[in-house]
A and B are shown apart, each in its own frame.
Chain A
């Protein structure tokens, strides 16, 4: 029986490692569809940023109560992994509570501490479910935000339920274990009472040894299979932020938020137009690619990593002046659309032996609409809000560049503004010769 369990565990664990590494490979390749962009300068500044914003969750504490609750889940997740390590080793080696004999009383303390975390995580998950489904926090409501309809709403609830089940399994497993220890059942190492699960033991007193072992084993397997399943699920879910928040903050932009990326590829042409440079007759005309971005592969890899890192919390959208006044633009939707399109191009790549085959679709038009990008005031509120430094504005501006420069599609009043700039060097219809007239009143 034990050897079967051990073999089953080894097989499951190997399958998990294979599946997860395959997913990581696919996601990596999908992100690499993006344009190259160097984000490796100033490493010490970047490490510090990652430590503060991702590891230290600095921006989450802008809203202290939610910040603390989120921190509980985060800390619980990180620390309970130590226990998972023991469980995995137990499974691989066919042992039970491998660390207990080495750690003695400290083991009991550690497991009690993990139980404390498990209960805290469980409670916060319940509160988060209530916030989504009962008190209905506005930014999380599908009725108010169309991008949250369907899978995103289900995904969010599933994750919370998943975590509640996992935490309950730990507590059940420990409680059954304690009862078995009291019975003096073989293989159940004496550990002394755990702080929280000891209160659950009355539920199981009077059970036969066989049923208790069955319960303990079921809870043990449920817990570890749950964790394995969760690890794989995360790679398909918005919950991927638990991993990508770290690289995403590391590679975040370090320049002022107001600065837009330059397009050096057109500077030469501008200089020729202004007579600052002479066209080089011997040189073949430079191959100018697409201006701005029409699809995900025109965006930078960092924009694409941003999309995979987004956990759809909607702080960006809640702070967006266009969204709050009823315009179609939602920065969260920009990120979700980018990811949806990415997943699609990624699948396309896989199905076609690693190269993307044109499918007649694009991010702009099929996912993000012109009306959305036109509504942006470039105020940077979305960028400011994101707890893991995602930049929806950068994507919006690249889409605008494509729309204006490649498609020459601009609202009439913008065309008029462009025309004024060209002829009057001012966005309004004033004669450049009158530019200094304001000083007349002072003379």
Chain B
């Protein structure tokens, strides 16, 4: 199998070899531990390998960015996490970070500088868009996605929080798929329900779960693929599809997985 040829160098290995990578791939907790999102991590690593991009990961030296603690109100714990991460990042002299998690992205990009950690941080959707624009990433596809209906669910921490709406759509357009927008999209996009620490608690009492409200809208587009760009959205949308018993006809994928599929990785 070709899988033998994939490499995942760590910063420690690179540093030992006196090398420094072009980018640090910040995997995030979901990307490291969540069975579903590990597949996204692997898809992204395969893309990086295929394009020969010199990257590294922190491996076991990475820790949670602190986002859930901060949003839940535990500033002390957030700063502990952030400081520890900044120490590691600075030790390796990291300059550029790419991550597939909008929560990590937002925290590292916007909130670490005030604690002394300033890096160029980009979300994998932007990174993929750049690669496509530069012509480095050509999506062969062989028509895998041609004409297939895909809808994109905006993640709050990518969209409203950081005004990134076009990059993920540019990636989907490269697939030559039929992108159908939900009624509430981009700046008006509806949350999946998991942000602000909700991922880690039961919802407050109400008449409906937020992800059900959102999945109904997604299903209404008639798309057979729901593209996401966030581990929390992935969980919520996947649960929504299951709740509606549509898992046979509708699938939820991350952008990196779609690119990897189109390229047969």
Chain B 183-209, CB within 8 Å of chain A: the 1/0 string? 000011011011111111111111111
Closest residue of chain B to A264 (Cβ to Cβ) is B114
CB distance from B64 to the nearest CB of A (A): 5
A262 with B42, Cβ < 8 A, contacts A377-B196, A421-B69 known: no
CB distance from B127 to the nearest CB of A (A): 18
Query: Cα distance A274–B76 when bound, in Å?
Result: 12
> Is B213 an interface position by the 8 A CB rule?
yes
CB contacts between A and B, total, < 8 Å: 222
The residue in A271, A418, A425 that gathers the most chain B C-beta atoms within 10 A of its C-beta is A425
Query: Cα distance A239–B261 when bound, in Å?
Result: 55
CB distance from A313 to the nearest CB of B (A): 16
Query: Cα distance A340–B38 when bound, in Å?
Result: 48
Query: Cα distance A273–B81 when bound, in Å?
Result: 12
The reply to whether B195 and A379 form a contact with Cβ atoms under 8 Å apart is: yes
For A413, the chain B residues whose CB sits under 8 A away are 200-202
The reply to whether B41 and A379 form a contact with Cβ atoms under 8 Å apart is: no
The reply to whether A405 and B81 form a contact with Cβ atoms under 8 Å apart is: no
For B74, the chain A residues whose CB sits under 8 A away are 404-405, 410, 418
CB distance from B108 to the nearest CB of A (A): 11
Query: Cα distance A329–B198 when bound, in Å?
Result: 14
A258 with B161, Cβ < 8 A, contacts A377-B191, A403-B73, A438-B38 known: yes
Count B-side interface residues using an 8 Å CB cutoff: 76
> Is A289 an interface position by the 8 A CB rule?
no
> Is A319 an interface position by the 8 A CB rule?
yes
CB distance from A135 to the nearest CB of B (A): 21
The reply to whether A426 and B32 form a contact with Cβ atoms under 8 Å apart is: yes
The reply to whether B68 and A427 form a contact with Cβ atoms under 8 Å apart is: yes
Chain A 363-402, CB within 8 Å of chain B: the 1/0 string? 0000000010011111111011000000000000100111
> Is A346 an interface position by the 8 A CB rule?
no
CB distance from B230 to the nearest CB of A (A): 12
> Is B59 an interface position by the 8 A CB rule?
yes
CB distance from A229 to the nearest CB of B (A): 39
The reply to whether B33 and A414 form a contact with Cβ atoms under 8 Å apart is: no
For A402, the chain B residues whose CB sits under 8 A away are 73
Closest residue of chain A to B163 (Cβ to Cβ) is A256
The reply to whether B191 and A379 form a contact with Cβ atoms under 8 Å apart is: yes
- Taking a contact as CB atoms closer than 8 A, the residue among A327, A384, A418, A425 that contacts B63 in the complex is A425
For A421, the chain B residues whose CB sits under 8 A away are 64, 66, 68-69, 77, 81
Chain A 409-422, CB within 8 Å of chain B: the 1/0 string? 01101101110011
7 A-B pairs with C-beta separation under 8 A: A384-B187, A410-B73, A413-B202, A414-B72, A428-B33, A428-B34, A439-B57
| Residues of B bordering A, CB below 8 Å | 3-4, 6-8, 10, 27, 29, 31-34, 38, 41-42, 45-46, 57, 59-60, 62-64, 66, 68-77, 79-81, 83-84, 87, 106, 110-111, 114-115, 156-157, 160-163, 187-188, 190-191, 193-210, 212-214
3 tightest Cβ-Cβ pairs between the two chains A and B: A258-B161, A378-B196, A326-B207
Additional pairs, 6, CB under 8 Å, beyond known A270-B79, A328-B206: A325-B206, A378-B71, A380-B156, A413-B201, A418-B69, A439-B57
